[in-house]
């Protein structure tokens, strides 16, 4: 399977490393905006056939079976459009687009053309989230009542916040939810099902950034369960690497509770007992338990063998609708019912 990729930014290294490890994948091309030297460095490191600066030319000459868009959001619509016009399946990094309207247009493009577009939303593929999902499906804690995620990466303090990795974070008018909280929205949907309502209070603590960097969001789920997202990018928590899990997850139910800590460990407690560590396997490799690799392998398995696919662009719009409702709730100071 031939893969062509756009972008050589900070996070793209995880994508290229993953492609180099999936059996039968040929990296047919890398397209850069202007930094050809960086593209050539990546090509040598990850075994790409050629570096391009013209997106259309790469698609026409490299003839990929799959395109990976790893650029900033404002470029996604054009690049996805070029691939879809040629009938080439696409994985597109999140945010899908700067606005919900543009993201909807991308999803509609895939639906109309019948071309697969998958949102690169890898948090649901983190091994602890997959294992928690399995345990919930198996009834490990009975009926789930509540879910809480306290996000505490501790990387948002001072004038240099985010500049070493993703400096554009400082200029995003919507930040905590649009860039980071959307991950948790998708994880909560994966674990707990459809979100039916939200209430949000957001705030900006670090004055050097344009958007919000802390906030509380409460959720209602179709099942009757409730949830809380407590996000603060300036505060940290107990972890060897706060960016591994980015925070602590707690799910409580009729028969006990499940907890993920900052080390990727899962703690299980039956009702009326003391919690104990739940043994499961994951590798300290790639990004956050190799979740990028898990997502890309998931898409390849779908294209090769017809395995069920998660997070198509059209399905991912449901997470983006929740995001829009959160901002609307914050602006209007009211509960937003997503059933209306």
Give 72-128 pLDDT, tens digit per residue: 899 999 999 999 999 999 999 998 998 999 999 999 999 999 999 999 999 999 999
Mean pLDDT of the chain: 96
Residue 72 · residue 45 · CB < 8 Å? no
Average pLDDT over residues 128-145: 98
Task: Show me where the domains of the chain are located.
Answer: 2-120, 123-278+313-337
Provide the 10 A C-beta neighbour count for residue 111.
13
Which residues does residue 336 pair with via DSSP β-bridges, in sequence order? 198
Q: How many residues does the chain have?
A: 340
193 three-class SS: coil
Provide the 10 A C-beta neighbour count for residue 325.
22
Of the candidates 228, 281, 232, the one whose C-alpha atom is nearest the C-alpha of residue 252 is 228
Model confidence at 34, pLDDT cuts 50, 70, 90, reads confident
Of the candidates 23, 50, 336, the one whose C-alpha atom is nearest the C-alpha of residue 198 is 336
157 three-class SS: coil
123-278+313-337, what's its fold? Dihydrodipicolinate Reductase; domain 2 (3.30.360)
pLDDT in tens, 144-203: 999 999 999 999 999 999 998 889 899 999 999 999 999 999 999 999 999 999 999 999
Q: How many helices (H) and strands (E) does the chain have?
A: 10, 15
Domain 2-120 of CATH type 3.40.50.1950: no
Phi and psi at residue 299, to the nearest 5°: -70, -40
What pLDDT sits at residue 340? Answer: 79
Pairing between β-strand 214-221 and β-strand 90-93 as defined by DSSP bridges? unpaired
Q: What is the pTM of this model?
A: 0.94
């Amino acid at each position: 399977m031939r893969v062509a990729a756009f972008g050589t930014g900070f996070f793209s290294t995880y994508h290229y490393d993953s492609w180099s490890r999936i059996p039968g994948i040929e990296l047919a091309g890398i397209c850069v905006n202007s930094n050809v030297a960086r593209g050539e460095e990546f090509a040598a490191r990850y075994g790409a056939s050629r570096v391009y600066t013209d997106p259309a030319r790469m698609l026409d000459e490299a003839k990929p079976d799959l395109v990976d868009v790893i650029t900033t959001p404002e470029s996604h619509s054009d690049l996805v459009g070029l691939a879809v016009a040629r009938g080439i399946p696409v994985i597109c990094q999140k945010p899908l687009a700067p606005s919900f309207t543009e993201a909807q247009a991308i999803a509609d493009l895939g639906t109309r053309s019948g071309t697969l577009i998958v949102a690169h939303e890898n948090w649901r593929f983190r091994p602890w989230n997959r294992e928690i999902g399995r345990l919930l499906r198996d009834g490990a804690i009975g009926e789930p009542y509540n879910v809480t995620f306290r996000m505490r990466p501790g990387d948002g303090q001072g004038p240099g916040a985010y500049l070493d990795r993703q400096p554009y974070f400082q200029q995003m008018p919507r930040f905590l939810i649009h860039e980071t909280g959307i991950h948790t929205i998708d994880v909560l949907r994966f674990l707990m099902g459809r979100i039916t309502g939200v209430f949000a209070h957001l705030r900006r603590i670090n004055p050097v950034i344009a958007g919000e960097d802390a906030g509380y969001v409460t959720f209602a789920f179709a099942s009757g369960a409730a949830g809380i997202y407590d996000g603060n990018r300036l505060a940290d928590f107990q972890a060897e690497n706060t960016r591994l899990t980015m925070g602590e997850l707690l799910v409580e139910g009729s028969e006990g509770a499940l907890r993920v800590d900052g080390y990727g460990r899962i703690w299980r407690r039956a009702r009326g007992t003391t919690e104990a560590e739940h043994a499961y396997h994951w590798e300290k490799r790639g990004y956050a338990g190799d979740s990028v690799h898990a997502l890309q392998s998931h898409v390849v398995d779908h294209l090769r063998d017809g395995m069920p696919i998660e997070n198509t662009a059209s399905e991912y719009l449901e997470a983006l609708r929740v995001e829009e409702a959160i901002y609307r709730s914050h602006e209007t100071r009211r509960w937003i019912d997503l059933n209306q």
